[in-house]
Chains A and B, each alone.
Chain A
Amino acid sequence: MNTTSPNPTLVLSAIYDQATIRRRKWRMIKDKIAQHSMTIGGISVIIAIVLIFFYLLYVVFPLLLPATMEKMQQFSIPAPTAGKTRYLAAEEQNEVGVRFTDQARVVFFKLTDGSVIAEQALPLPAAVTMTQLAIANLSTGVIALGLSDGRALVIKQTYDISYPNGVKVITPGIKYPLGEEPIVVDKVAGTKALRHLAVQLGETTNTLAAITADNRLVLTSVVKEISFLDESVTLKRTDGVLSLLLPPSTQVTHLLLDKPQRFIYVADSEGYISRIDISDKKSPHILERIRVVKAAQAITALKFLTGDISLLVGDSSGKITQWFPARDANNNKTLRQIREFNHQTAPIVDIAIEERRKGFVAADNQGQVGIYHSTAHRTLLVKSVTSGIAIQQIALTPRADRLLVEDEQGRIQLWKIHNEHPEISWSALWSKVWYESYDQPEYIWQSSSASNDFEPKFSLTPLAFGTLKAAFYAMIIATPLAILGAIYTAYFMAAGIRKIVKPTIEIMAALPTVILGFLAGLWLAPMIEANLPGVFLLFLLLPSGVLLFAYGWNRLPRAIRYVIPDGWQSTLLIPILLLITWIAFELSHPLEKGLFNSNLPNWLTTQLGIAFDQRNAIVVGIAMGLAVIPNIFSIAEDAIFSVPKHLTMGSLALGATPWQTMTRVVILTASPGIFSAVMIGMGRAIGETMIVLMATGNTPIMDFSIFQGLRTLAANIAVEMPESEVNSTHYRILFLAGLILFIFTFFFNTIAEIVRHRLRRQYSSL
């Protein structure tokens, strides 16, 4: 193009020249590509952020779902000629069901269609019929039959799984752990039928308990003794009798014997339960007889919750109550009502217990079943399953995912239950919960144990408390140091030193917290324990010593004072501080010897009753305080330093002292910035993991004492996540803890960010 003599047509033709147009087009395309890829990139980052939040939510969400159940099958009772069902059960794999009939026959059937796999008569002596049936506990499959001649036969269901030709085969069968010969239970009355029967087989002790027609309790206990010398087995039988002393015309309705074979519970027709101590099998004695239902109501169902500590009482009004022995105000152990479930209205006919959780299913005589969980005090579902026909029996499979319901018209229904996380409710997570064997409701985190009977204690309160406690003590240390430091650095310090001091303090933010935690746990904690009086003295001496020195300095002649220019005070103070620290630690041991019996931690425990942990809140406060100081310092310093100079100059020119200018002008203007600094520090202290993990002892207790340890949400995740089962309730609760932390810190940081945005706009208007 000719630039010396501009020719409009030439220029125009150059602009509309084919090559130029093509190039321009290409440029536009490139621009579009860049724009789109940038947009996609930007948005994908936001998607990533949202993904984290929603993934956490996605894992936590099933905790909130109620239980559901759906009908799978319905069939008429298999082998109806065998008699009426006395006991209904199913095995682990949800494939074989079993019913024990009143004619002492056993019918195994397929759960899929109700077809009979096997039917078998139990070997009773001639001319003897079965009168009673007692279940030991669900996981062993042991059952006792009470016979019309006062004897009892103990049987055990077995389900053997084998894989001939790679195909799973379940072979059900019956065994006789105490022999096929029935055992005489009631030695006195001889051949009279037993009214009620209970059985427990233990590793060495087996106990049978029965109620006779004249309301006596008879106990038969067989102890297996293995000789140390020749390992020969001798069986020792002990018998005990106890008269229940019930009022006339009162009948026993239920009899329960617990797994450790220590207590017997007898329910009677007046609505009372008697608790009987049988730890001495020869002489059982009644501990108490207590009314468990309202007047004019009767006990219609009585079962142990798994673990055999709690009793579940179903009454004729459809209410289910949970009871276990706990100490009352007078320190006596009595049976106490722990909680009640009030969601059914017809008399409860049967309660089925979950084998591996503290849950149960109750059925009433109007065809409704309710799914409950005791610890969480949660009613997960109440559903009518037989459209009004009374239910006779229900049975849960060992995994508690199938429910068998037999109604009065002789039909069996198979229901599938989805009930993954019944343990969780708002009250289980955040309120005091009355756990089994505790004397009052408490906040406890104790997530797992090796035993199936264990009641998981999922209270997040002690963890949230620990998190806040750690953050509180850290902030007590960090806030004054950081903010006062920021004030001096930004406003009073000589510019030359400020350039060194600021980055030095900010270095600490780059120090991995695992190092701080490691030092806190292994060096600081023992050091503080050994020099506890010195540490307290230090907190006292530091401010007073500095003030004393400042006053002394002020009284010095000017000639000396003017050697050190303004803004160098902090340098001057360094040797003074070192001296004070040295004095405090030197005084520590003499002080301890003079006042505290030469061991302050011990003295605290014995004299004041304050427990002392080596890894305590002081250690966490100092260590985490150090981790937080640079964050707060940096932001607060920036905020103070960027207060416009014309404001401070004006204030000084009007005659205000530097300190007055500081408090009345600078801090006021910078206060939002300082606030946001504290918020960000707080957010960091709440989410900090490694320091609290290594320096606190991780004891989930609720105690605000500075001498006690704690456990935070973050440390709890770190400790328990590796061993939690995927998608279990425990796993999801740990995710919930993560979500809570996420929301906590997001909350604090958002406040800080919004305040900072405001501040920036405010400065720009000044």
Chain B
Amino acid sequence: MMKDWWKSGDPWIWLTAAAVSVNILVVCGLLILIAVRGLSHFWPTAVMEAVYTEPRGQESRLIGEIRDQETIPTARLHNPGYEITTEQVTRYLIKTGNRKLLGMDFRWVLEPQLHNRQYPKDILVIEQREWGNSYGYLKAVKQTGQIVSEDAIVAVTELQQRLQRASAIRDQIRQIEKYEIGKINYRLEQLRLYQRRLELNNLSDSIQLAEISRQKTALETEYQLLGQRLNHLKQEINRDSLTLEIMDGRLVEIPVANIVRFYYPNNLSLPEKLRFYTVKVKEFLLDEPREANTEGGIFPAIFGTIMMVFIMSFMVTPFGVIAAVYLREYAKQGWLTRTIRIAVNNLAGVPSIVYGVFGLGFFVYFIGANIDKWFFPKLYRRQHLAPRVYCGHR
């Protein structure tokens, strides 16, 4: 029976079938892995409060998100500081936030040392522009140092309004810094170039110079006005702050200007969570990065990628189409076209790093280094005149 089955070749067919299944599983598994790991990142995690027994016996309050969990052999813990009787021990990676105050964002804690785990509804998470997340309890909202509200519910609405105000001011600051000052700088640069052109062509006369310097002073006054407005706005944006009680019981002042958003993670309903998720994904796709690319969005990278693809298609597509039409319709079919076809197909297989090396060498170091010489030979030579050499003796 077994022998017959073996002889029929059936087992081999099953093995080939298994190969297909493995391929499919791997492809799907990979896509699912990427999707799950990537997309779950923005889902609001519940924030836990617990009592943790430190190695030396004292108890401390821990507030944070459980980010990872693993079960490891006890032997792998070098000098844990506890008596652990079990062979395996579970430990959690907890994001405690408050990096500025606690010195670290994450810490590993052992499961047996964690008691009284609870998820209070009024734990507040504050996403900051600098120094990462902050976790704690909202105690008060202040305006220029004076307490506006201490009641939790009123404080939240107050905070919401003040956050909107701060972000409006931030937009104004950005508008001034990026566009209005930029415009002045551009016009100053144009003036400088104009003056330089006049000098180079020996056309500068006193009237024109006076006109240039008049325009310059006008621009500089404008610039100073903008600077004053900017200073005023920066004072305004720093008006409000809030008081937060963090996990070690300290009360911390956080300026509203430093807040991106705040939320009560344990008090979010499903629609609210979904809304939060969408906002986060939108931020990721459309915002600029913050905090050395660890927070915020990836819009510049997306923009760069798409830009590159556009430029590439724009420059290459005509070439490709024309070459294809030529090969198919115009060229005499023969060994030459066959060779060309093989060569073109081959190019698809040439490693991209080779194109990278070529691009760097040819376009950057070869054309880039010589383009001035080709187009502005006069200026180029003037710059590269070797200075005369004298030798003296001391």
Residue of A108, A489, A515, A633 near B393 (CB, 8 A) is A108
Contact of B391 among A169, A663, A750 (CB under 8 A): A169
Does B358 reach chain A (CB closer than 8 Å)? yes
Closest chain B residue, CB of each to CB of A567: B17
Pairwise interchain contact B18-A546, C-beta atoms closer than 8 A: yes
* B388 to A, closest residue via Cβ: A167
- Cα of A3 to Cα of B197 in the assembled complex, Å: 73
A569 at the interface (CB under 8 A from B): yes
Cβ contact of A167, chosen from B25, B320, B390, cutoff 8 A: B390
Binds B, one of A48-56, A192-200, A222-230: A48-56
A614 to B23, CA, bound (A): 25
Q: Which of A145-153, A458-466, A572-580, A643-651 contacts B (4 or more CB under 8 A)?
A: A572-580
Contact of A547 with B322 in the complex, beta carbons under 8 Å: no
Check: A485 CB closer than 8 A to any chain B CB.
yes
If A598-B75, A659-B9, A735-B361 touch, does A485 touch B20 (CB 8 Å cutoff)?
A: yes
Partner of A734, one of B20, B322, B357: B357
Choose from A37, A43, A550 the contact partner of B10 (Cβ within 8 Å): A550
Q: Does B108 sit at the interface, judged by CB under 8 A?
A: no
Q: Return the contact of B27 from the options A43, A49, A508, A571 (Cβ within 8 A).
A: A508
Residue of B nearest to A756 (CB): B345
Confirm or deny: B78 has a beta carbon within 8 angstroms of a beta carbon on chain A: no
Can you report 16 residue pairs joining A to B where beta carbons are below 8 Å apart? A39-B331, A42-B331, A45-B323, A48-B319, A52-B355, A55-B361, A117-B392, A168-B390, A171-B393, A488-B19, A519-B30, A543-B15, A573-B18, A626-B30, A687-B349, A738-B354
A691 to chain B, nearest CB (A): 12
| Complex contact B27–A507 (CB within 8 A) | yes
CB contact between B349 and one of A569, A663, A749 (< 8 Å): that residue: A749
- The answer, yes or no, to whether A332 is at the interface (CB within 8 Å) is no
For A487, the closest partner residue in chain B by CB is B16
Chain A residues within 8 Å of B, Cβ to Cβ: 35, 37-39, 41-46, 48-49, 51-52, 55-56, 59, 95-96, 108, 110, 117-118, 160, 163, 166-173, 480-485, 487-489, 492-493, 501, 504-505, 507-508, 511, 515-516, 519, 523, 542-543, 546-547, 549-551, 554-555, 569-571, 573-574, 577-578, 593, 598, 626, 629, 633, 657-660, 662-663, 680, 683-684, 686-689, 714, 717-718, 721, 726-727, 734-735, 738, 741-742, 745-746, 748-750, 753-754, 757
Q: Is the CB of B11 within 8 A of A550?
A: yes
Contact bitstring B1-22, A, C-beta under 8 A = 1, else 0? 1100100111111111111111
Contacts of B387 in A (CB 8 A): 163, 166-168
Per-position binary interface string of chain B over residues 366-394, scored 1 when its CB falls under 8 Å from any chain A CB and 0 otherwise: 10000000000000000000011111111
The DSSP consensus for interface residues of chain A is: helix
Closest to B346 in A: A749
Q: How far is the CA of A735 from the CA of B344 in the complex (A)?
A: 22
Q: A55-B362, A569-B14, A626-B30 known; 4 other A-B pairs, CB under 8 Å?
A: A42-B325, A118-B393, A593-B73, A633-B23
Q: Which of A41, A95, A492, A570 contacts B21 (CB 8 A)?
A: A570
Q: Is the CB of B8 within 8 A of A659?
A: yes
| Interface of B (DSSP majority class) | helix
Least CB distance from B211 to A in Å reads 33
Contact A659 B24 (CB under 8 A): no
> In the complex, which residues of chain A have a beta carbon less than 8 angstroms from the beta carbon of B15?
484, 543, 546-547
Is the beta-carbon distance between B19 and A485 smaller than 8 angstroms? yes
Which of chain A's residues have a CB closer than 8 A to the CB of B319? 41, 44-45, 48
B274 at the interface (CB under 8 A from A): no
In the A-B complex, list the 10 residue pairs whose CB atoms are closest, starting with the nearest: A659-B9, A687-B351, A42-B326, A41-B322, A484-B19, A488-B16, A118-B393, A550-B14, A569-B17, A45-B323
Nearest CB of chain A from residue B72's CB, rounded to whole Å:
9
Contact A577 B21 (CB under 8 A): yes
- Chain A residues with CB below 8 A from B346, complex form: 745-746, 749-750, 753
Partner of B22, one of A52, A542, A598, A663: A542
A493 to B20, CA, bound (A): 10
> Given the complex, which residues of B lie within 8 Å of A42, measured CB to CB?
322-323, 325-327, 330-331, 340
Contact B30 A511 (CB under 8 A): yes
User: Which one, A41, A689, A753, contacts B345 given CB within 8 A?
Assistant: A753
Say yes or no: A551 contacts B11, CB within 8 Å. Answer: yes
* A485→B16 contact, CB < 8 A: yes
Query: Cβ of B20 and Cβ of A488 under 8 Å apart?
Result: yes
CA A39 – CA B323 in complex, angstroms?
8
8 Å CB contacts to A: which residues of B103-129? none
Q: For A735, what are the chain B residues with a Cβ–Cβ distance below 8 Å?
A: 357, 361
A519 touching B34, Cβ below 8 Å: yes
Q: With A481-B19, A505-B23, A550-B10 as given contacts, are A754 and B342 in contact (CB-CB < 8 Å)? A: yes
A36 to chain B, nearest CB (A): 9
Instruction: Report how far A554 CA is from B329 CA in the complex, Å.
Output: 56
Q: Closest CB of chain A to B103's CB: distance in Å?
A: 25
A172, A546, A757 — most chain B CB neighbours (10 Å): A546
